[in-house]
């Protein structure tokens, strides 16, 4: 039986400076004042989930908690709203990482939809408990746009790890 997904590249180990840089860019993109537009992706959730799947021992629930607190402070929302949602996202993404890595990026994106939806629901429930009004069903568009971003972000985040195509005839790999 032939594998359905074959990669011709071997990835180099990830540099933690690249991981932190991508998480900082995601945090900056989240804090840009475009959150009022329906369907804006949650870049922090996307980057956090991606690195929890790719590097579950280095990026974990603690990272999600810190990013969530910074996001809560940046948005002026109920303290802990994003933190709780990102901790749950990091936990489930880390748990699913070994299984998810067997799939191509498009299938990974489909499997991430329930996680991003869970993140949105947790944040919505906390907002409703705090006394906010229901924002409308367009609030959940963010789930699908974030999942759609998984496919291109997958390739951008892995660019520094990709080895050149040149093949050395003296090495078997």
pLDDT band (50, 70, 90) for residue 81: very high
DSSP letter, residue 11: B
Residue 173 has pLDDT above 60, yes or no: no
- In the numeric block, the tokens 């990102």 are attached to 86
- The phi, psi pair for 72, rounded to 5°, reads -60, -45
Q: Is a pLDDT exceeding 80 seen at residue 168?
A: no
Q: What percent of the chain has pLDDT over 70?
A: 87
Query: How many beta carbons lie within 10 A of that of residue 60, not counting itself?
Result: 18
DSSP string, 34-73: -TTSTT---HHHHHHHHHHHH-TTTS-HHHHHHHHHHHHH
Confidence of residue 33 (pLDDT cuts 50, 70, 90): confident
Q: Among 83, 111, 117, 81, which residue's Cα sits nearest to residue 95?
A: 111
Q: pLDDT tens for residues 142-165?
A: 999 999 999 999 988 988 777 665
């Amino acid at each position: 039986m032939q594998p359905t997904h074959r990669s011709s590249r071997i990835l180099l180990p990830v540099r933690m400076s690249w991981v932190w840089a991508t998480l900082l860019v995601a945090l900056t993109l989240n804090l840009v004042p475009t959150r009022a537009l329906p369907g804006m992706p949650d870049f922090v959730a996307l980057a956090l989930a991606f690195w929890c799947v790719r590097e579950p021992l280095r990026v974990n629930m603690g990272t999600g908690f810190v990013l969530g607190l910074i996001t809560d402070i940046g948005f002026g929302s109920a303290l802990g709203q994003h933190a709780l949602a990102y901790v749950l996202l990091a936990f489930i993404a880390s748990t699913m990482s070994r299984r998810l890595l067997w799939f191509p990026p498009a299938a990974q994106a489909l499997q991430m939809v329930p996680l991003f939806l869970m993140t949105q629901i947790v944040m919505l429930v906390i907002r409703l408990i705090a006394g906010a009004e229901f924002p409308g069903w367009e609030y959940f568009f963010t789930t699908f746009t974030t999942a759609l971003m998984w496919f291109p972000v997958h390739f951008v985040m892995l660019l520094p790890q990709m080895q050149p195509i040149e093949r050395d005839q003296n090495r078997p790999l």
